Amino acid sequence: NGVFPRAKSLPLDSMVISTEVLEVGPDGIDEQPEEGTYVHGLFMEGARWDTEENTITDSHPKELFPPMPVIHVRGITAEEVDDEGAYQCPVYTTRIRGPTFTFAAPLRTVKPPYTWVLAGVCLVMQSD
């Protein structure tokens, strides 16, 4: 929605999505942040989130849809973007890709982003 850009008198078309993966589960959240929202219940396909290193890493054997920690999603201006070391991870509502695309979540990566592009890594809202 356009609440944040209007509150800051910013043009909506200059806004992009920023994500920060938190170290807490949904039980550790008491209230919503001042800007953006907390999202939980997403699953990663093709890789997993390493909570110790705070980055995308290779998935464990037979681990198809590891759950993601809580993610703080907010809008920032394009000038504030620092996509160095970030993979623009597509987020889908279901495992059926394409028409269920929702947004691209920039996620921290130590490996080059093309590693995750070639692996088909994405986040899904439903693992079944």
- What's the pLDDT tens digit per position in 92-106? 999 988 899 999 999
Q: pTM for the full model?
A: 0.84
> Mean pLDDT over residues 53-69, rounded?
94
Sheet holding 71-77: strands in order across? 15-21, 71-77, 37-39
Which residue has better confidence, 13 or 44? 44
What percentage of the chain carries pLDDT values higher than 90? 57
Which of 122, 116, 117, 33 lies closest to 70, judged by CA? 33
SS3 77: strand
What percentage of the chain carries pLDDT values higher than 70? 89
